[in-house]
Amino acid sequence: MPTPFDRLAPPPTVYPPTQADQGAQVFYYYCMVCHGDRGQGLTPGFRSLLGVPDNNCWAHECHASNRIDGAFRLPRVVPAVIGKGALSGFKTGLNLYDFISTEMPYQAPGMLSQTQYWQLAAFLLRSNGYYLGALPLNAGPAQAIHLDAPPPSAGQDRTFGASVIAVTVLIVAAGAWWWLRRRKDA
């Protein structure tokens, strides 16, 4: 009998990992606790997955107004970072990176390495449907990703790729036919 999927388990590792795959790990360890296992935000549904007392962040002196020394006050609304419109507050991928690298995590802004912030930005962009291409995300490519426009659908990317492959195969086949024909006539 298959075991149920554990939504709070770390994301699977893949080899070789992409920058966005590495960002999934960063998200899991540093962002999930506030932004949810699916990037949905700190919703009641996500909080219900957490055990007591973690499912009520504001009632047990950890993030409430009566918090203990060293704790921080957690906002009541923690936004979604994955899903329709989640990145609409950012103009480009670079704006997203700039924000998360200076403002997140909430309790310790700037604590991650530059590499981890780029991995996280790549994960968030990919998770929201933005095609990253094969090159690592950095300032140049991130500036070119416009978040104020909807991401291309995966079907559009596949259609374009399939078209390029089909045209390439036709050109190679035509060239081979022409070469064989010419050789036969000689």
pLDDT band at 180 (very low <50, low <70, confident <90, very high): low
| Cβ–Cβ < 8 Å for 55, 8 | no
What is the pLDDT, as a whole number, of residue 23? 96
pLDDT band at 164 (very low <50, low <70, confident <90, very high): very low
Average pLDDT score over residue span 93-116: 96
Query: Is residue 10's pLDDT more than 90?
Result: no
In whole angstroms, give the CA distance from residue 106 to residue 151: 27
Choose the weakest-confidence range: 1-10, 40-49, 65-74, 138-147. Answer: 65-74
Which architecture does CATH list for 19-41+78-151?
Answer: Orthogonal Bundle (1.10)
Extents of the domains making up the chain: 19-41+78-151, 152-186
**Could you report the per-residue pLDDT of 29-66, keeping only the tens digit for each?**
999 888 888 999 877 777 777 766 565 665 655 555 65
**167: its two tokens:** 């045209």
Residue 100 burial class via C-beta count within 10 angstroms: exposed 0-12, middle 13-18, buried 19 and up: buried
